[in-house]
Amino acid sequence: MRRALVVLMAALVLATMCVGFASAAKPLPKLVLLSGDSQIARLYAQGIQEMIRKNLGLPLEIEAVDFKTRLQKMRNNDFQIVFAGWGADYDDPMTFLDMWITGGPFNDVMWSNSSYDRLIDVAKTSPDEAVRMKAMSQAEKILIGETPIAPLYWPAWNFVEHPYVKNVVRKTVGSDFEWKWSYTEGRPGGDKDQFLRMNFGEEPPDLDPATSTDQVSFWVINATYEGLARKNPEMRILPGSGLAESWTVSEDRKVYTFKLRNAKWSDGAPVTAYDFEFGWKRAIDPRTASQYAYMMYVVKNAEKVNAMEVPDDKDAKKAEKNKAIDDALAAVGVKALDAKTLRVELEAPTPFFLDLITFITYMPSPRHMVEKLGDEYASEVDKMVACGPFKVSKWQHEYKIVLEKNPNYWDAKSVKLQRIEADMIKDIATPLNMYDAGELDLVGVPGTYIDQYRNKGMRTIAEATAWYLEFNCEHEIFKNAKIRRAFSLAIDRQAYVDYVLKNGSLPATSLVPPTIHGKDGVSFHDVYVGDLLPKKADIKLAKQLLAEGLAELGYAMP
């Protein structure tokens, strides 16, 4: 009996081998990693290349292209593996998770999983935070398990500031900087004149909150405007912290009613609920063509209106189409009931809505100015007004911008800083020299200078950003989840941050960075998800998965 079994098994093995040889497994095609073309991006890509070579024995080519070319290739689904990153738009895990739903606008990997979609839907519509957290953590487990993306690292922000600089709050979501409570104490030369000097690195491209999209503009807008609420230094959102004095939420958590405080624009005009309605609708209006309009999609009907067709100048039905947009805008869920009351209706209960109201796109637009100036609004110092702690007092394009305390700000008594002077020097070494010479009060420390500044009081804070590899799930090799997972497990994330990045970044053991909060202000990653990936490479499992995956697809192991 036993002998028969052995013979049978031997026959089976032989047969399998014969079949294997007979079908002559296909040779593996060339594998290519698409990356940025900066020196740093190439270095980071080479780190991955080396780990895949060493741990999986696979040659991986690097195709380095410039930023826009890489994005276009991602959009066209013209890649195998690509190095990509995402920064949080708001403080909720959803900002990292809803992008991977089937057909999602940022789902360049063409991945689709119906359980995942369902869980995201639950988390988007449920008013119950506990239910949401559970759904999102399950969703993230599916995502990491199937590996359409392989998280690599969570970057860190390194900076130095002179000891006399106090209370410059650094945030991980929205505008990086918050200066409302900043001041100096013990500056050589005295603190009578309260000011800060820093380097913005570039010209803010767009200081109009309805259309702005970039960080530098966000810093200025966050300082010169105010939304319905302003995050406190502990990142909490409390009623009365912004232009809304208080608010109430309906039973079904879909309707918010904000009571506005007495506040003025820097030119003396009152800030009203109409300015909020006007500003939000301006961002939503497809004729404005605001890139961040999608941040408003939680507001009832906003997405629908934003997707409407904008008529061409020569369009015969121009008037008709414009009227259709105007009518649809009237049905959008934001309405000023009177000058002091703003009613907002949402598509679904959105627990992170209170985080969104601190976002730049949700700031009010001064209707009296915008209607007069149109697209010229916010193009020069005399063509803009402020309702935040500061106002722009000098703007030399591409060179320097000066913010000055706004005496009309409702909480001006809390603002100690009189002035913020900012250069726009793009070089990375120059600002460090200026900092050392005492010409700048604070400065960011780029990767290559970390060792030099580590002993000069350098501080590091974790960002709400994740970098990962995206796999094209329609590619002949990477459509196989085992192969994708093999690549992910072959990466030694700890070694990668320690020896390749060397800039304080953390190994990403899941997608959502630990800085993103879950229910009750705890870290979503730490409390609800945990490490879904090992910090060190799991070479044995990776090799096994690779072999299995390749066999399934009929490819020869190289």
Partner 1 sequence: MLAALWVIVTATFFLMHSIPGDPFLSDKVTEAIRQNMLRKYGLDKPLWEQYVIYLGNLLRGDFGTSLKMLHRSVNDMIRDGFPVSALLGLEALAYAVTIGLLLGTLAGFRHNTWLDYLAMFVALIGISVPGFIMGGLMQYIIGLKLGWLPIARWEGFRYTIMPAVALGLGTLAVMARMMRTSVLEVTNQDYIKTAKAKGLSQREIVFRHVLRNAILPIVTILGPLTAAIVTGSFVIELIFGIPGLGKYYVQSIFNRDYTLILGTTIFYAILLVFLNFLVDVAYGIVDPRIRLMRSRE
Binding site for partner 1 (CB under 8 A): 65-69, 71-73, 75, 84-86, 89, 105-106, 203, 205-206, 208, 211, 213, 286-287, 289-294, 306-307, 310, 312, 375-376, 378-379, 396-399, 423-427, 429-430, 433-434, 436-437, 439
At residue 101, the 3 state secondary structure works out as: coil
CB of residue 295 vs partner 1: minimum separation in angstroms?
9
Compute the least distance from the CB of residue 389 to partner 1, in Å: 23
Smallest separation, CB 243 to partner 1 (Å): 25
Beta bridge partners of 523: 517
* Closer by beta carbon to partner 1, 101 or else 342: 101
CA 332 to chain centroid: 26
Measured CA to CA, the distance from residue 132 to residue 129 in angstroms comes to 5
Nearest distance from C-beta of residue 38 to partner 1, angstroms:
11
Q: Which of 121, 203 has the CB closer to partner 1? A: 203
Quick one: 132 or 197, whose CB is closer to partner 1?
A: 197
* Between 308 and 527, CB nearer to partner 1: 308
Report the residue number, 141 or 321, with the smaller CB distance to partner 1: 321
Beta carbons within 8 Å of 546's beta carbon, 6+ residues apart? 56, 58, 482, 483, 486, 490, 557
Amino acid identity of residue 76, one-letter, is N
How far, in Å, are 14, 280, 301, 331, 350 from residue 345 at the CA level?
Answer: 68, 13, 9, 10, 11
Tokens 């939503």: give the residue.
Answer: 284
Question: Would you say 181 or 294 has its CB closer to partner 1?
Answer: 294
Please provide the size of the chain in residues. 558
10 Å CB burial of residue 414 (0-12, 13-18, 19+) is exposed
Of 408, 400, 411, 322, which Cα lies nearest the Cα of 366? 408
Query: Element (H or E) spanning 544, and its range?
Result: helix 539-553
- Which residue is listed with tokens 């100036």? 373
- Smallest separation, CB 80 to partner 1 (Å): 17
Q: Which is nearer to partner 1, 54 or 426 (CB)?
A: 426
The per-residue b/e assignment along 74-90, b for 16 or more CB within 10 angstroms, e otherwise, is beeeebbbbbbebbbbb
Nearer to partner 1, 361 or 480 (CB): 361
User: Cα separation of 184 and 530, whole Å?
Assistant: 40
Furthest-apart CA atoms within the chain: distance in Å: 99
Q: How far is the CB of 442 from partner 1 (least distance, A)?
A: 16
To the nearest whole angstrom, how small is the minimum distance from the Cβ of residue 432 to partner 1? Answer: 9
The conformation of residue 127, written as its DSSP 8-state character, comes to S
**Closest CB to partner 1 among 84 and 123?**
84
Which residues in 50-182 belong to E strands, given as ranges? Answer: 61-65, 81-87, 149-154, 156-161, 165-166, 169-170, 177-178
Alpha carbons 513 and 517: distance in angstroms, whole number? 9
Considering the complex, state which of residue 108 and residue 140 has its C-beta at the smaller distance from partner 1: 108
Phi, psi (degrees; rounded to nearest 5) at 516: -80, 130
Residue 397 beta carbon to partner 1: minimum distance, rounded to whole angstroms: 6
Cβ nearer to partner 1, comparing 378 with 417: 378
What span, in angstroms and rounded, lies between the C-alpha atoms of 180 and 390?
8
b/e per residue 195-213 (b: at least 16 CB within 10 A): bbbbbbbebbebbbbbbbe
For partner 1, which is the closer residue by CB, 72 or 115?
72
- Taking the chain, what is the end-to-end CA distance rounded to the nearest angstrom? 39
Alpha helices in 92-165 (DSSP H): 94-97, 114-125, 129-146
Neighbour-count burial for 474-499, b at 16+ CB within 10 Å, e otherwise: ebebbbbbbbbbbbbbbbbbbebbee
Give the CA distances from residue 534 to residues 150, 405, 508, in Å, rounded to whole numbers and listed in that order: 12, 49, 9
Residue 180 three-state SS: coil
Strands 419-423 and 400-405: antiparallel
Nearest CB to partner 1, comparing residues 302 and 529: 302
Tell the smallest beta-carbon distance from residue 285 to partner 1 (Å).
10
Provide the minimum distance between the beta carbon of 358 and partner 1 in the complex, in angstroms, as a whole number.
18
11 or 289: CB nearest partner 1: 289
- Shortest distance (Å) from residue 342 CB to partner 1: 25
In whole angstroms, the minimum distance from the beta carbon of 502 to partner 1 comes to 22
Nearest C-alpha neighbor of 487 from the set 1, 83, 93, 48: 48
Closest distance between partner 1 and the C-beta of residue 532, in Å?
24
Shortest distance in whole angstroms from residue 48 CB to partner 1: 19
